[in-house]
Chains A and B, each alone.
Chain A
């Protein structure tokens, strides 16, 4: 098959979202040792931050729980949280990867009892809730955290507050001298499942996300609708906490736009229709307007779109809104041209949700995969292996498929079937 045998049969998976978790489990269950590297304190990634996800509108608790069980059962997966890849040397079959771990200040014997959080005073913006609420400086990242361990913020570790947090822990799990670590690992293949981040809504100046409180993004909407979110799942206007009666969902906010993201982010159309369904389920009298250029009901999900199109309280408006203005009452007014009727409109709303697109989360020097496409997504070719949204905009089920394929490619690399991208031919 090949003239060169790989030196390491270990597979590294970078990123612990749904794609990284899937790739790691698939490779481990096929009999390969896997090292997972995750930047945040927990697995779960963006999926954990959703209320429900397609195709069956499951709560993420369900899908993650099954996968966490599989990780716990597997003896082959080692997990490094709060860690990033600092450097990659060597080539397929024999990589040396430098991993840098940030201090968590909490040891593995943590029982997640919460005594530390009870004495913490400093409040920090909660990244899990996109800053819509705060967390204490000793906190559990979210209810579905894996590992189920608290984190102490570096901001308080060396302060008297840190000492009080340490004193509150009855089992002595707080280690304020944790300095993190930098170490090298030998692996045979690397799967990049580094995921995505929402396109910054502040860049869309005409949509006024920065200065009109009732203009929010689609990821913020997911948190609003989530039972473990800042409002315990009640969809309300951020400005006054009132229930919105009239909601606008704006598609392609930053996507398909040469001034922002040139590509279609694929998932936003159905994500917004899911948001229309959230609103209609919670507020019986609510009217929802979906502003779109083109509707893309990908995969097998057209029936979901048809269901909403049949709802008389959901209106689809073919128009990319030109701008959002502040109305007399302070709320958002969506302005543009309805391209089917040629009517120029200015519609006031209680709540406007911008369907901001997906952007590759790793930029600049962090880009260590073998190849990237023009938009910054990992290009899977030879020994460059991308999984999930790191390889391009995908929904959860497609990410899982992509991750399974990535695990298969990684196995080919470390088992000597393929070396350095050359398919084994006689």
Chain B
């Protein structure tokens, strides 16, 4: 799909930083970061990130590709957008973290692929792309069984009372999954989007 990001070969190698500026969503504003710390300070779960966005951005500049793409900061973002709103340099922090997460998965980093959030995002996207809707049973099922049959069964059973409660209060339905009216058209739209992304990725403007 897209060329893999370059791996810095020596100290002070800016190739990875430049690749991020050009290829990651919002990366064009990353060079404006002045390391003030507003993003990491605004983060509601900043204490649970190994680096936090500010430090992660400095690591990108320092060419620490491996450490950046294995960081839990990419996955712990809850998309509250406090950092995006407050950033004095208008760096779209959350967009950058999200796109770096997809880069990490695409490039096969085990920490990224096996992270909880990556598994859940994958299950969510599978349902959304297939049906045009998310179905709670399918998304949770796919997510649970991504950990293996035994673990999936265990997690499913542990959450059974919640599922039954949701069915009882009509928050979850039985029967066929919800789907949008014309899934065939949706699949065509998504295929076209993937084609455009593959063609234009990395191009400016």
> By the criterion CB–CB under 8 Å, are A342 and B55 in contact?
yes
- Is B113 interfacial (CB 8 A cutoff)? no
Nearest Cβ on chain B to A54's Cβ, whole angstroms:
25
Closest approach, in angstroms, between the C-beta of A275 and any C-beta of chain B?
Answer: 21
Pairwise interchain contact B90-A337, C-beta atoms closer than 8 A? no
Residues of B within 8 A of A319 (CB): 36-37, 41
Least CB distance from A261 to B in Å reads: 10
B38 at the interface (CB under 8 A from A): yes
CB pair B46–A320 under 8 Å, yes or no, is no
The answer to whether A322 and B88 have CB atoms under 8 Å apart is: no
Once the chains bind, are B86 and A206 in contact (CB under 8 Å)?
yes
Give the CA-CA distance A369 to B46 in the complex, in Å. Answer: 48
Interface residues of B in 7-42 (CB under 8 A from A): 34-42
The reply to whether the CB of A388 lies closer than 8 angstroms to some CB of chain B is no
Which of chain B's residues have a CB closer than 8 A to the CB of A257? 88
Once the chains bind, are B88 and A320 in contact (CB under 8 Å)?
yes
Instruction: Confirm or deny: B133 has a beta carbon within 8 angstroms of a beta carbon on chain A.
Output: no
Q: Which residue of B lies closest to A256 (CB)?
A: B88
Q: Tell me the minimal C-beta distance from B40 to chain A in angstroms.
A: 4
A321 to B38, CA, bound (A): 6
A258 within 8 Å of B by Cβ? yes
Residue from B35, B41, B90 within 8 A of A323 (CB atoms): B41
B88 to chain A: which residues have CB within 8 Å?
252, 256-260, 320
Query: Is A422 in contact with chain B by the CB < 8 A criterion?
Result: no
**Any chain A CB within 8 A of the CB of B47?**
yes
Q: B192 within 8 Å of A by Cβ?
A: no
Which B residues touch A294, using CB under 8 A?
34
B42 & A323 in contact (Cβ 8 Å cutoff): yes
Q: Which residues of A contact B86 (CB under 8 A)?
A: 206, 259, 322-323
Contact A320 B37 (CB under 8 A): yes
- CB of A344 within 8 A of CB of B41, answer yes
Tell whether, in the assembled complex, residue B54 and residue A337 are in contact, meaning their CB atoms are under 8 Å apart.
yes
Residue on A nearest B34 in the bound complex, by CB:
A293
- Provide the residues of chain A in CB contact with B82, threshold 8 Å: 322
* A336 touches B (CB below 8 Å): yes
- Which residue from A258, A260, A337 sits with its C-beta under 8 Å from B40? A337
Find out whether the CB atom of B42 lies under 8 angstroms from the CB atom of A322.
Answer: yes
User: In the bound complex, do residue A344 and residue B46 qualify as a contact, i.e. CB atoms below 8 Å apart?
Assistant: yes
Q: How distant is B38 from chain A, measured CB to nearest CB, in Å?
A: 5
Interface core residue of B37, B54, B55, B89 (most chain A CB under 10 Å): B37
Q: Is A339 an interface residue (CB 8 A)?
A: yes
- With contact pairs A337-B54, A339-B54 given, residues A320 and B41 touching in the complex (Cβ less than 8 Å): yes
Across-interface contacts of B63 in A (CB, < 8 A):
none
B92 lies within 8 A of chain A by Cβ: no
- Give A319 to B55 CA distance when docked, in angstroms: 12
Number of residues on chain B facing chain A (CB within 8 A) = 22
A106 at the interface (CB under 8 A from B): no
Nearest-Cβ distance from residue A379 to partner chain B, whole angstroms? 25
Q: Across the interface, do A258 and B35 meet the contact criterion of CB distance under 8 Å?
A: no
Q: Is the CB of B89 within 8 A of A335?
A: no
Q: Check if A338 is an interface residue, CB within 8 A of chain B.
A: yes
Contacts of B85 in A (CB 8 A): 259
Say yes or no: A256 contacts B41, CB within 8 Å.
Answer: no
A233 smallest CB distance to B (angstroms): 34
Q: How far is the CA of A335 from the CA of B46 in the complex (A)?
A: 11
Bound-state Cα–Cα, A293 to B51, Å:
19
Bound CA span A260–B85, Å: 12
Q: Are B35 and A339 in contact (CB under 8 A)?
A: yes
A339 to B202, CA, bound (A): 31
Smallest Cβ-Cβ distance to B45: which chain A residue: A344
For residues 69 through 89 of chain A, which have their beta carbon under 8 Å from a beta carbon of chain B? none
Knowing A322-B42, A344-B46 are in contact, say whether A336-B89 is a contact too (CB < 8 A). no
The residue on A at minimum CB distance from B83 is: A322
Q: Across the two chains, which residue of chain B brings its CB closest to A260?
A: B88
A327-377 residues with Cβ-Cβ distance < 8 A to B are 335-339, 342, 344
- CA A38 to CA B86, docked complex, whole Å: 38
Tell whether, in the assembled complex, residue A342 and residue B51 are in contact, meaning their CB atoms are under 8 Å apart: yes
Closest to A254 in B: B88
A189-213, CB < 8 A from B = 206
What is the CB-to-nearest-CB distance from B43 to chain A, in angstroms, rounded to a whole number?
Answer: 8
Is B40 a contact of A344 with CB atoms below 8 Å? Answer: yes
Query: Which residue of chain B has the shortest Cβ distance to A321 in the bound complex?
Result: B41
Q: A337-B46, A337-B54 are in contact. Are A258 and B37 (CB under 8 A)?
A: no
Shortest Cβ gap from B52 to chain A (Å) = 6
Chain A residues closer than 8 Å to B47, beta-carbon distance: 344
Q: Which of A252, A320, A342 contacts B52 (CB 8 A)?
A: A342
Given A259-B88, A342-B52, are A322 and B34 neighbors across the interface (CB < 8 Å)? no
**B52–A322 CB distance below 8 A:** no
Give the chain A neighbours of B37 by CB distance below 8 A. 318-320, 322, 336-339
Q: How far is the CA of A230 from the CA of B90 in the complex (A)?
A: 39
Q: Which of A26-43 contact B (CB under 8 A)?
A: none
Residues on B with beta carbons closer than 8 Å to the beta carbon of A342: 40, 51-52, 55
Q: Which residue of B lies closest to A320 (CB)?
A: B36
A85 to chain B, nearest CB (A): 35
8 contacts between A and B (CB under 8 A): A252-B36, A259-B86, A320-B36, A322-B38, A323-B86, A335-B41, A336-B40, A344-B41
Other contacts beyond A259-B88, A319-B37: 11, CB < 8 A: A256-B34, A260-B88, A322-B40, A322-B41, A322-B82, A323-B42, A336-B37, A337-B40, A337-B54, A338-B37, A342-B52
Closest 10 pairs between A and B when the two form their complex, measured CB to CB = A322-B41, A336-B41, A257-B88, A320-B36, A337-B40, A322-B42, A337-B41, A337-B37, A339-B37, A293-B36
